[in-house]
Amino acid sequence: MKKWSNKWTRAAIPALLLHCSIGTVYCWSTFKANIASYIGAGVGDVEWAFSLAIFFLGMSAAFAGNVVEKNIHKSSLIAAICFAVGLAGTALFIMLKSLVGILVCYGCIMGVGLGLGYLSPVKTLMLWFKDKKGLATGLAVAGFGAAKAIATPIMTAMLDSGMELPTMFFILAGVYFVMMIVGHLLLKKPDGWHEEEAPKSEHPVRDFFGKFKVFKDKTFVGVWIVFYINITCGLAIIANEKSMISTIGLEYALIGTLCAIFNAGGRLGYSAVADHMKDRNTIYKIILASQIAITTIALILAFTTGLDNSLLSVIIVLALVFVVNAGYGGGFSNLPTLLSDHFGMKSISTLHGVALSAWAFAGLTGNQMASLITGATGDIKFVFLATLVLYLIAMVVNLLLIKPAGHEKV
């Protein structure tokens, strides 16, 4: 009983506390217009804060994976401090009406907290739940996806009550700092696990960049490309959710919450199912196949009758946003376990961090790709076309480069 309890108190619960805090980065659309209005800037200019946050998330995970590998308590503490300071700094610079300050605090400082906070509990979860690694990581990463569904109505209520925008950010900084510090204090690897001491090197700079030698492995390259495309396409569709839902005549508030639930459900469900598959990569093929199918149907509808408030349009648009959200989330939760199947557990935090660099670049390209296409054409159907082509490329890469796991050496 004690051993079972430790799985939750030392791994699952702290992981949820960390991920449910940092996952609120996806609440950005709730208040970005408010920030732009408050400081007198354009929404497009303010939008860069979110893009930078995702970029620094991915890059901090890529470059700090070895820190997480060596000391999860140091990495989770830095994550809590950076995330809270980023939010509090954002509040301060909103008061000062400084766009640059907001970009630095919300985008750069908070982004580092996001990356380290995301990565810190993953290996610990897989060590505690050896037989259900996918379920364990899916549970925590589902917290990241569910954070939007939980926090959005709370933030909306705070703003609707007349609360000043900076005040809301100061409150959020305090609440999430407490949650993350509790998660930091609880997080602990199993007693029987001891990290191997890495030999001391005379060339620390060379070793620092040496982790990227994994890009010489075609399996890792394939995983990275598929992961990057899945996020890029997901962000392109998710960025247009609100306009598509409005086009079919539905209120976005409820549908947006359902999208967040599908996102979280995909993170948990796809990873739990993958635990029972001989080749975990099969789940990525299922995710891509479902996305290709529904995007093709939506594209045909858009090019023939167009999107309107007809029953057919409602069904297809809802199916599109739900399927894409579920696959977007499932891609995240299956990444660390797929990497561990191929490369083992020894350096999984480092490898997972390097793979998350795909998230960094997708954060800079997904939303912007959709904005450029809709800005140039004025029609969402060309976004469907672009994402369909990318999904097909991802499927080809998956089939050609990612073979069944054989514990490749890095």
The full 3-state SS of the chain, as one line of letters, equals CHHHHHHHHHHHHHHHHHHHHHHHHHHHHHHHHHHHHHHCCCHHHHCHHHHHHHHHHHHHHHHHHHHHHHCHHHHHHHHHHHHHHHHHHHHHHHHCCCHHHHHHHHHHHHHHHHHHHHHCCHHHHHHHCHHHHHHHHHHHHHHHHHHHHHHHHHHHHHHHCCCCHHHHHHHHHHHHHHHHHHHHHHCCCCCCCCCCCCCCCCCHHHHHHHHHHHHHCHHHHHHHHHHHHHHHHHHHHHCCHHHHHHHCCCCHHHHHHHHHHHHHHHHHHHHHHHCCCCCCCHHHHHHHHHHHHHHHHHHHHHHHCCCCCCHHHHHHHHHHHHHHHHHHHHHHHHHHHHHHHHHCCCCHHHHHHHHCHHHHHHHHHHHHHHHHHHHHHCCCHHHHHHHHHHHHHHHHHHHHHCCCCCCCCC
- Would residue 207 count as lying in a domain? no
Both 105 and 233 in one domain: the answer is: no
10 Å CB burial of residue 164 (0-12, 13-18, 19+) is middle
Both 262 and 397 in one domain: the answer is: yes
Both 269 and 375 in one domain: the answer is: yes
Flag whether pLDDT at 5 surpasses 60: no
Position 67 confidence tier, pLDDT thresholds 50, 70, 90: confident
Position 210 confidence tier, pLDDT thresholds 50, 70, 90: low
Flag whether pLDDT at 203 surpasses 60: no
Q: 404 or 394, which is more confident?
A: 394
pLDDT (tens digit, 9 = 90+) per residue, 225-254? 999 999 999 999 988 888 899 899 998 778
Pick the most confident of 129-143, 371-385, 395-409: 371-385
Interhelix angle 348-355/218-238, rounded to 10 degrees, is 50
Domains: count for the chain = 2
- Residue that is last in its domain, among 187, 207, 240: 187
Flag whether pLDDT at 36 surpasses 90: yes
Using alpha carbons, select from 369, 332, 372, 349 the residue that is nearest to residue 145. Answer: 332
- Would residue 151 count as lying in a domain? yes
Q: Mean pLDDT across the chain, nearest whole number?
A: 90
Q: Which two tokens stand for residue 125?
A: 């979860």
Flag whether pLDDT at 45 surpasses 60: yes
Query: What φ, ψ does residue 349 adopt, rounded to 5°?
Result: -65, -40
User: By the 8 A CB rule, do 290 and 327 touch?
Assistant: yes
- Span between the terminal Cα atoms of the chain, in Å: 37
The CATH number linked to 305 is 1.20.1250.20
Q: Which two tokens stand for residue 267?
A: 């993170």
For 47, 66, 167, 361, the CA distances from 228, given in Å and listed in that order, are 20, 22, 36, 8
Position 1 confidence tier, pLDDT thresholds 50, 70, 90: very low
- Would residue 156 count as lying in a domain? yes
- Would residue 199 count as lying in a domain? no
- Would residue 236 count as lying in a domain? yes
Flag whether pLDDT at 406 surpasses 80: no
Pick the most confident of 123-137, 337-351, 379-393: 379-393
Tokens 């700094």 locate to 89
User: By the 8 A CB rule, do 290 and 283 touch?
Assistant: no
Q: Please name the amino acid found at residue 266.
A: G
- Would residue 44 count as lying in a domain? yes
Query: What φ, ψ does residue 344 adopt, rounded to 5°?
Result: 80, 180
**Whole-number pLDDT of residue 206:** 44
Both 155 and 11 in one domain: the answer is: yes
Both 183 and 271 in one domain: the answer is: no
User: By the 8 A CB rule, do 177 and 86 touch?
Assistant: no
**Whole-number pLDDT of residue 138:** 85
Range of the domain at 59: 7-187
Both 146 and 280 in one domain: the answer is: no
Both 22 and 64 in one domain: the answer is: yes
Q: Which two tokens stand for residue 281?
A: 């990569």
Q: What CA–CA distance (Å, rounded) separates 361 from 291? A: 21
Both 222 and 345 in one domain: the answer is: yes
Q: Please name the amino acid found at residue 111.
A: G
- Would residue 181 count as lying in a domain? yes
User: By the 8 A CB rule, do 233 and 327 touch?
Assistant: no
For 4, 140, 160, 162, 300, the CA distances from 153, given in Å and listed in that order, are 34, 21, 10, 15, 35
Both 276 and 372 in one domain: the answer is: yes
Both 290 and 337 in one domain: the answer is: yes
Both 237 and 102 in one domain: the answer is: no
Both 113 and 246 in one domain: the answer is: no
User: By the 8 A CB rule, do 193 and 129 touch?
Assistant: no
**Whole-number pLDDT of residue 205:** 39
pLDDT (tens digit, 9 = 90+) per residue, 292-324? 999 999 999 999 999 999 999 999 999 999 999
pLDDT (tens digit, 9 = 90+) per residue, 275-287? 999 999 999 999 9
Flag whether pLDDT at 357 surpasses 70: yes
